[in-house]
């Protein structure tokens, strides 16, 4: 039986993703693959990202389509990092070229959005809300730590940056600490697992001014603490676990203060979280608990759809294709 679907494609800095969504907005199939980074490495060059995406896309398509008979009605693709004309990153050319080729071959619509909008759409689709015309959107990942005001415009959202990091991104903070602790890259899931063994949570420095934050100072503080704790770390994981828990606390507290200030300034009572860093359960719980005291409701996608994935591109294409507003 043929399934009518919309295809989402996202080729970010560290994940190749495909997602098929049916006409009713339900997941039909998905595949994703994290790009390979050599042990001890802290990232990839854009040329290496492009190479791996180019190899991954056909294999992921074969995997996703296996056992299905799809009729693709339209394609959504992440074409650039942010919804700005000057936003550009070569990694997204792999997905964009793949999407343009398919759209031209089959004569179907192609909708280009940014990677950031893909994260928002994925979160909205997974969390089923908020059902509000104005809300805050926190996007925290390896390449982004942005607080944005989302305002509904027909079948899309206009994003205005109202705050964020002045230096280091949240995911970079996590990865630098994780690698210093001997964890693999990217370090988010492993750092969260390590932090579960903590016996205490050190309150690391937090630097927040209204909706602008700095993470380089807190990161330097933790890296110095790791150097001091190295002899103990080799004998016992407790010191490392405590510092990992401290990183979680510092990021969560930074996000809370930034969101609280932004909500007051822009008179909104809803915030949606997305990005790999926001998949951390401890960070999520801390944000929800603290903001609830201020009457701010937090919307969160399923953890599976918080990090890089193509469901947002598919959801955007489905909404456009079905004429939903």
What domains lie within the chain, and their CATH numbers?
A: 3-131+305-321 (3.30.420.40), 162-302 (3.30.420.40)
At 188 the pLDDT is: 93
Q: Could you tell me which residues come within 8 angstroms of residue 181 by beta carbon, excluding any fewer than 6 positions away?
A: 187, 191, 194, 226, 233, 240, 243, 244
Low-confidence ranges of the chain (pLDDT < 70): 230-237, 324-325
At 325 the pLDDT is: 53
Contact, 9 vs 61, CB < 8 A?
no
In what helix (H) or strand (E) does residue 111 lie, and over which residues does it extend?
strand 110-114
At 229 the pLDDT is: 75
CA distance 299 to 284: 10
CA distance 31 to 172: 25
The three-point CA angle 10-88-218 to 5° equals 85
Residue bearing tokens 């932090």? 195
At 233 the pLDDT is: 46
At 231 the pLDDT is: 46
Angle subtended by helix axes 281-292 and 238-266, to nearest 10: 40
At 236 the pLDDT is: 53
At 237 the pLDDT is: 61
User: pTM above the 0.85 mark?
Assistant: yes
At 22 the pLDDT is: 98
Sheet strand arrangement including 27-34: 27-34, 15-22, 3-11, 70-80, 110-114
């Amino acid at each position: 039986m043929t399934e009518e679907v919309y295809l989402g494609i996202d080729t970010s800095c560290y994940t190749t993703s495909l997602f098929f969504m049916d006409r009713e907005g339900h997941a039909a199939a998905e595949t994703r693959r994290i790009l390979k980074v050599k042990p001890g490495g802290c990232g990839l060059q854009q040329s290496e990202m492009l190479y791996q995406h180019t190899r991954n896309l056909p294999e992921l398509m074969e995997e996703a389509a296996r056992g299905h008979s799809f009729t693709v009605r339209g394609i959504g693709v992440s074409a650039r990092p942010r919804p700005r004309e000057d936003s550009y990153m070569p990694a997204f050319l792999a997905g964009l070229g793949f999407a343009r080729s398919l759209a031209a071959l089959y004569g179907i619509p192609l909708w280009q959005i940014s990677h950031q909008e893909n994260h928002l759409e994925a979160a909205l689709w997974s969390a089923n809300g908020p059902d509000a015309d104005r809300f805050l959107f926190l996007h925290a990942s390896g390449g982004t730590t942005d607080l944005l005001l989302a305002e509904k415009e027909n079948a899309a959202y206009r994003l205005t940056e109202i705050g964020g990091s002045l230096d280091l991104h949240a995911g970079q903070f996590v990865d630098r600490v994780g690698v210093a602790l001997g964890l693999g890259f990217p370090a988010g899931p492993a750092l969260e697992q390590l932090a579960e063994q903590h016996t205490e949570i050190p309150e690391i420095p937090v630097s927040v001014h209204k909706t602008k934050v700095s993470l380089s100072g807190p990161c330097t503080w933790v890296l110095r603490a790791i150097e001091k704790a190295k002899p103990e770390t080799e004998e016992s994981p407790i010191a490392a676990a405590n510092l990992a828990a401290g990183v979680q606390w510092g990021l969560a507290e930074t996000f809370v203060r930034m969101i609280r200030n932004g909500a007051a300034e822009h008179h909104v009572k809803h915030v949606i979280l997305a990005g790999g860093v926001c998949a951390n359960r401890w960070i999520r719980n801390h944000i929800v608990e603290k903001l609830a005291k201020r009457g701010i409701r937090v919307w969160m996608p399923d953890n599976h759809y918080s990090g890089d994935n193509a469901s947002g591109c598919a959801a955007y294409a489905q909404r456009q294709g079905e004429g939903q507003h």
